[in-house]
Structure 1
Amino acid sequence: MSQLYPTVLLCVYGFFSNLRPSEPFLTAFLMGPDKNLTETEVVNEIYPIWTYSYLVLLFPVFLATDYLCYKPVLILQALSFVVTYVMLVKAQGVLAMQFLEFFFGLATAADIAYFSFIYSVVEPAQYQRVTGYCRSITLLGSAAGSLTGQLLVSVAQMPLFYLSVITLVSASMAFVAPWFLPMPSKSLFFHKSQGTKGGQLAHQNSRAPTDDAEDPESKVPLKSDEVPMVVNAGECGGASRSSSGLVDVLRILWVDFLQCYSCRTLLAWSVWWALSTCGYFQVVNYAQALWEKVLPSQEFEIYNGYVETISTLLGAFAAFGVGSVKVSWTVWGELALCIFSVVMAVAVYLMDTIRNIWVCYTSYVVFRATYMLLITIATYQIASNLSMQRYALVFGVNTFTALLLQTVLTIVVVDTAGLGLDIFPQFFIYAGYFAVIAVVFLMAGLYKLMVSQSQAKAKPQTDSGESESDGFSRDSPPLNELQQITRT
């Protein structure tokens, strides 16, 4: 019962905070009679603020989440959602919408607190199950919100303004749940209990072994018993705190960073993660603006809600289904990333050039499902042999790098301070961006295959029966546990 209570509250919060009927129609609402903003104001002046605020707030929120033991940051996220949608309903003008994007960026940065909270109140044996519940309920909330919004617009002929009101009500209901969550007594970095280290070791030992065909090069030499322990700064909420706690944490994060990214395989998957997530954010953030240009919502009926629902569910099924695919990703990973990056590049290119709304919708579904499939594989490959502290660090660094790249791309391509391009030239650049990613990983994959073949020929036959003690952990976490990182 002690684990059921916070799990139910987290699921309730996850469902209602992601139930946003207004989201598929946000661009149409901002450019419609309610807000009366121009395409340039929405695309080139308002939307970029989310990218900038997310980038600036990500690392401070990451540290604050651990230092404050999750719950306060979860409450802050819930409050940020409420403020965002209050402003969406009541505020007017470009400056107000820019502040709206800032608060939404704060809420997005605080998303790490949602899943981090699980590991502070749930036993390691239940990580996979509880993570699966919470991840599934957030996807269900997102899909239900999109579908509800579309049905209200298409069937009930409801004005878009009332979709924003319903989203505000949903965010207000979500705001209640975090207040009743228990306050954790430990965290990953700042606050550690006596049993934390042993719990992590047991958690790692309970993981299922990886495929024997995996290359030892892909295994990061970071076993759980090698994880440096931060000096205990007292339990969360306690009065005693070490003044050097932050310095200790930053030092350990830096050492872990150097060790993690010294693994070439982890580095390759992380590079794809950062590059593709940057492009994914750009396409998803500005897809509605492209659809609005292809089929204006003021003149025609639009079906954005159905598209978001289908792409979310299809992407979720693809992500969950990858667990049953037996592929030696160590050998074929780069080439697979190349092929699927080509698929994503073609999908974006078709959206830009065909300019038929049904082609745009279909291409968007293919693009989003492909990304969710690949990011799940990347998550699994990166985290398969990292302790919880280290994969939290690696995922944070990858996301920060993606946001840094996205910020540069936004300033140069989107922002009026840069080129301030129209939406169609933007998507042409995004298509070329994914094509470049495909070329990079094609070259990397071919190089790795040639090196592997040359090593296989040079390897003495006598080594075939020997086993190396490389100190690498060969345990891998369950796939469902790691699907928390994907963001639809």
Structure 2
Amino acid sequence: MHIRDTMEPWMKMSLMLCVFGFLKEFRPSEPFVTPFLTTFKNFTLEEVNQRVFPVETYSWLSLLVVVFLITDMVRYKPVIIVLALSGVATWSLFIWGTNIAAMQAAEFWFGMFLASEVAYFTYIYAQVEKEHYQAVTSHIRTAFLLGRFLSSSVCQALISSGLTSYSELNYLTLVAEIMLAIWAFLLPSVKHSLYFHRREDSSAVLENNVASAINNSSSDISSGQNSRPEGIRELFLMACTYLWQDFKQAFTNPLVVKWSMWWALGTCGYLQAIIYSQNLWEDIVDEIKEKTGETQELYNGAVEAIYTLVGAAAAFACGWLKLDWAVYGEPILALCSLLQGITLLVSSYASSLWLAYAMYITFVVFYQTMITIANSEVAKNINEDSYGLIFGVNTFFALLCQTILTFIVVGEHGLALSSRLQYEVYGGYFLAMGGLFLIMALYNVCCRRPLKTWIFDPLPAAQTSSVKS
């Protein structure tokens, strides 16, 4: 009975968050959003490519920093509710909107939906004790993948069987988003947060630093015009102190910088490739129809389901890898980036939809594998309470790079390239990333360790000494 009383609170919280994560990822209309916009809404592929989809990237970037700070200040739940309501707004506009402006508004709210996910991913660390982090994170990850897999499988089954159209899939997604909003209101409130509402056992050193900063910077307080410090200002200065301490501790570590750099650059390219993948597949289908007169059926949902399963298996397998990533990190990052670039270049020239699908699955699996390792390596080298901050910083830089890439390559005021030419650029982007990490690997081999030592004694020094002993 005592064990049950001890386990019930965190298990209940885990279950509630798993349900939320499942509903959040159950979006059966998403694999077919481009066919929906081009057939049922009668927009051209160029309009979707250049005027609709870029709004998501711009919105996501512009809202992320504000959402991150507000999330901690208001203690998560209000932002999680905003996330759910943003999903309702997004798919309501998709269903009942009739012009480009309405679709752009839908993409804006979807950017809010994505930016607000930081509240969901950090909410758990404020609600569950540290000894349960690993178990609950595993539960949430499983629910997250299950929701995405079932969503993709259901939409493909409904489309292939002719039971629903692309348009009707949006109603299923809207129902899931409404359920998500209801569930968001049922989540318990949070009493503490990482920066603005620390627990009572916060560092006394930091508190003294903040108090000193307040006394030095506030002439009104020191002159006695106010009888006590301003609560909001004191809270803000303390939060900034905590943020700066965690940021400095993380990004003065070369290993964190290295893995965060790949995290940001890799995520930028990954997001760009998956957002515009459906446009490329539409181009391939249209070209096949022009050449042969045949209309090829799309299997976007099946592809999403397959890569979700394979990506999950690859991410799980990473837990069994026993490598010294400080030594082998750069070569593996270089190799995977080069292979990702090749898959995107092959996709850009593909005349077969099946080849494009295969390259897409391969590309995503490479990303899911390496981002899992990057997450793990970063987490090993930072304060566990600062993971949300580092996640937000890396995501911000990824979106900043993606916004620049979108404006130059996709936007109507930039080059406005076709889908195939875009994928050539994205392929070159990953090849350049691979070259960068290859140079870093060669530098580590040739400059940090003599080449002769590397050839005849390839093991790290610690391993070599243990072998000799």
| TM-score between both structures, scaled by the size of structure 2 | 0.86
Aligned to 2:120: 114
Change (3 A) 1:71 1:344: same
> How does 1:81-480 map onto structure 2 within 5 Å?
81-195=87-201, 241-296=231-286, 299-454=295-450
CA deviations over 1:392-411 (Å, ceiling 9, x no partner): 22221111111111111111
Q: Which runs of 5+ in 2 are unaligned?
A: 1-7, 212-229, 455-460, 464-469
Does the Cα contact within 8 Å between 1:190 and 1:230 map onto a contact in 2? no
Shift of 1:448: 0.9
CA deviations over 1:58-98 (Å, ceiling 9, x no partner): 01100111111111111110100111111111111111110
Q: Distance in 1 between the 2:420 and 2:207 partners?
A: 50
Does the Cα contact within 8 Å between 2:122 and 2:388 map onto a contact in 1? no
Change (3 A) 1:139 1:196: farther
Q: Distance in 1 between the 2:209 and 2:65 partners?
A: 19
Does the Cα contact within 8 Å between 1:30 and 1:36 map onto a contact in 2? yes
Matched length: 427
Shift of 1:181: 1.4
Q: Which runs of 5+ in 1 are unaligned?
A: 198-224, 233-239, 466-488
Does the Cα contact within 8 Å between 1:13 and 1:175 map onto a contact in 2? no
Does the Cα contact within 8 Å between 1:46 and 1:94 map onto a contact in 2? yes
Change (3 A) 1:120 1:157: same
Q: Distance in 1 between the 2:341 and 2:79 partners?
A: 37
Aligned to 1:16: 23
Does the Cα contact within 8 Å between 1:190 and 1:246 map onto a contact in 2? yes
2:53 counterpart of 1:50: no
Aligned residue for 2:237, secondary structure, equals: helix
Q: Distance in 2 between the 1:387 and 1:370 partners?
A: 27
Aligned residue for 1:373, secondary structure, equals: helix
Shift of 1:186: 0.4
Q: Distance in 1 between the 2:134 and 2:202 partners?
A: 18
Q: Distance in 1 between the 2:208 and 2:429 partners?
A: 41
Q: Distance in 2 between the 1:380 and 1:291 partners?
A: 33
Question: RMSD value over aligned CA atoms?
Answer: 2.5
Q: Distance in 2 between the 1:227 and 1:447 partners?
A: 39
CA deviations over 1:173-219 (Å, ceiling 9, x no partner): 1111121111111000000122466xxxxxxxxxxxxxxxxxxxxxx
Aligned residue for 1:242, secondary structure, equals: helix
CA deviations over 1:450-479 (Å, ceiling 9, x no partner): 234239979xxxx989xxxxxxxxxxxxxx
Does the Cα contact within 8 Å between 2:210 and 2:237 map onto a contact in 1? no
Change (3 A) 1:171 1:444: same
Change (3 A) 1:138 1:241: farther
| TM-score between both structures, scaled by the size of structure 1 | 0.83
Aligned to 2:33: 26
Aligned residue for 1:324, secondary structure, equals: coil
Does the Cα contact within 8 Å between 1:25 and 1:305 map onto a contact in 2? yes
Shift of 1:230: 9.2
Aligned to 2:46: 40
Does the Cα contact within 8 Å between 1:228 and 1:252 map onto a contact in 2? no
Does the Cα contact within 8 Å between 1:86 and 1:168 map onto a contact in 2? yes
Change (3 A) 1:261 1:153: same
Does the Cα contact within 8 Å between 1:266 and 1:381 map onto a contact in 2? yes
CA deviations over 1:269-317 (Å, ceiling 9, x no partner): 1111111111001000000000011014993311000000001111111
Shift of 1:253: 2.3
Q: Distance in 1 between the 2:462 and 2:48 partners?
A: 62
Look up the equivalent residue of 2:194 and give its one-letter code. Answer: L
Look up the equivalent residue of 1:355 and give its one-letter code. Answer: S
User: Which of 54, 69, 73 pairs up with 2:79?
Assistant: 73
Shift of 1:106: 0.4
The answer to which structure has the higher helix fraction is 2
Identity %: 38
Does the Cα contact within 8 Å between 2:118 and 2:388 map onto a contact in 1? no
Q: Distance in 2 between the 1:437 and 1:189 partners?
A: 34
Q: Distance in 2 between the 1:299 and 1:257 partners?
A: 53
CA deviations over 1:320-376 (Å, ceiling 9, x no partner): 110101111100100000000111011101110123100100000000011010001
Change (3 A) 1:67 1:300: same
Does the Cα contact within 8 Å between 2:206 and 2:238 map onto a contact in 1? no
Look up the equivalent residue of 2:316 and give its one-letter code. Answer: F
Look up the equivalent residue of 2:19 and give its one-letter code. Answer: V
Shift of 1:268: 1.3
